[in-house]
């Protein structure tokens, strides 16, 4: 009888440890960046980066709770502990690395310029005197500010900027290349009037990283290990094929 009791207690302790080990991390994103992160019609989080983070969680044995946050609140919320992680098409820059931790890079892109279909501009030099919009404090916004003779207009979200270009209130939009393709090439309404005019080729290639609070190297290392496993098992390539039609 005593052996049975000891065995039962041991099993309960093991079960308790298993439950305790099932950690949940709150991951904040601004789901306005298809195909990286966006909402389905029934308000479910989806996209390449969403799938990638979920796959990392599965590999490392933790749960992911997604949180919808405006872009300008992502980094402040991370710093104050409102959430554990930011996964929102965040480009790794030297300036950002001063105030936050980044995972290893997981995606590369450049900035694309979206214009009216009748506009034949092929380079930033052709846009002098024009007004371009972007989501505030994004690398697209920074790219416009670096253009000579171009006026920048910031918006709280990328959809607002694209809608402004569509309605003619501004001349165009600058944003990450894969998102530009989703907004223009895969949207029947916008594709009828807007186009990707060109990619800013002389700009540096950008790399996306998952973001953690400055100093939280432990969580960063957990995600890096998960990213490594996802790559080694071919899951990353499968997700690339799913969302981009190619494995980069």
Whether residue 213 is found in the same domain as residue 103: yes
Whether residue 36 is found in the same domain as residue 115: no
Residue-level pLDDT at 243:
93
Whether residue 61 is found in the same domain as residue 116: no
Residue 50's SS3 state is helix
Whether residue 57 is found in the same domain as residue 95: yes
Please list the ranges in the chain whose pLDDT falls under 70: 1-21, 246-248
Q: Are strands 172-176 and 131-135 parallel, antiparallel or unpaired?
A: parallel
Q: Considering only CA atoms, which of 82, 60, 79 is closest in space to residue 233?
A: 60
Whether residue 42 is found in the same domain as residue 62: yes
The total of other beta-carbon atoms located within 10 Å of residue 186's CB is 11
The residue segments making up the domain with residue 168 are 111-199
Whether residue 99 is found in the same domain as residue 118: no
How far, CA to CA in Å, does 37 sit from each of 51, 198, 205? 9, 23, 20
b/e map 192-222, b = 16+ CB within 10 Å: eebbbbbebeeeeebbbbbbbbeebeebbeb
Whether residue 7 is found in the same domain as residue 103: yes
CATH code, domain with 147: 3.40.190.10
Whether residue 127 is found in the same domain as residue 98: no
Whether residue 171 is found in the same domain as residue 139: yes
Whether residue 95 is found in the same domain as residue 9: yes
Tell me how far apart the alpha carbons of residues 106 and 83 are, in angstroms, rounded to a whole number.
21
Total domain count, the chain: 2
Whether residue 93 is found in the same domain as residue 125: no
Number of H helices, E strands in the chain: 10, 15
Whether residue 101 is found in the same domain as residue 213: yes
């Amino acid at each position: 009888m005593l052996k049975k009791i000891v065995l039962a207690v041991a099993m309960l302790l093991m079960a308790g440890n298993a439950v305790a080990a099932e950690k949940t991390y709150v991951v904040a994103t601004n789901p306005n960046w298809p195909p990286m992160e966006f909402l389905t019609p029934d308000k479910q989080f989806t996209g390449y980066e969403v799938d990638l983070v979920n796959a990392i969680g599965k590999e490392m044995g933790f749960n992911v709770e997604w949180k919808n946050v405006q872009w300008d609140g992502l980094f402040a919320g991370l710093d104050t502990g409102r959430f554990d992680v930011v996964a929102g098409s965040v480009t790794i820059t030297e300036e950002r690395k001063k105030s936050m931790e980044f995972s290893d890079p997981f995606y590369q892109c450049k900035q694309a310029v979206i214009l009216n279909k009748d506009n034949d501009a092929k380079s930033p030099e052709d846009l002098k005197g024009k007004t371009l919009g972007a989501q505030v404090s994004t690398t697209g916004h920074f790219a416009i500010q670096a253009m000579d003779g171009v006026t920048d207009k910031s918006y709280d979200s990328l959809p607002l900027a694209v809608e402004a270009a569509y309605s003619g209130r501004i001349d165009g939009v600058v944003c990450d290349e894969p998102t530009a393709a989703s907004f223009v090439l895969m949207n029947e309404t916008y594709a009828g009037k807007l186009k990707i005019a060109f990619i800013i080729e002389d700009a540096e290639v950008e790399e996306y990283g998952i973001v953690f609070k400055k100093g939280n190297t432990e969580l960063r290392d957990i995600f890096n290990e998960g990213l490594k496993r996802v790559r080694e098992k071919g899951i990353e390539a499968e997700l690339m094929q799913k969302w981009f039609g190619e494995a980069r």
